[in-house]
């Protein structure tokens, strides 16, 4: 069972919560990057990444 191999102080709820936080941070980073790439001020960056 997975829970048996977890370090003391960790349980499945902790891991689940950490996973939600990590996935929302990735989503925020992705939307920020997408915002940069779609911004008119960053035309050279968009062209360099293939977003024209």
| Domain range list for the chain | 18-51
Rounded CA separation 31/34 (Å): 5
* pLDDT value for 1: 43
What is the value of pTM for the model shown?
0.33
List the end-to-end C-alpha distance of the chain, in Å, as a whole number.
49
Q: In b/e form, how buried is each residue of 1-25, taking b as 16+ CB within 10 angstroms?
A: eeeeeeeeeeeeeeeeeeeeeeeee
Cα 19 to Cα 11, 12, 16, 25, 45, distances in angstroms: 12, 10, 5, 10, 31
Q: Is residue 39's pLDDT more than 70?
A: no
pLDDT, average across residues 27-37:
73
């Amino acid at each position: 069972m997975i829970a048996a191999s977890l370090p003391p102080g960790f349980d499945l709820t902790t891991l689940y919560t950490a996973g939600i936080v990590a996935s929302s941070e990735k989503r925020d980073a992705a939307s920020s990057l997408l915002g940069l790439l779609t911004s008119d001020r960053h035309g050279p960056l968009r062209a360099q990444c293939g977003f024209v």
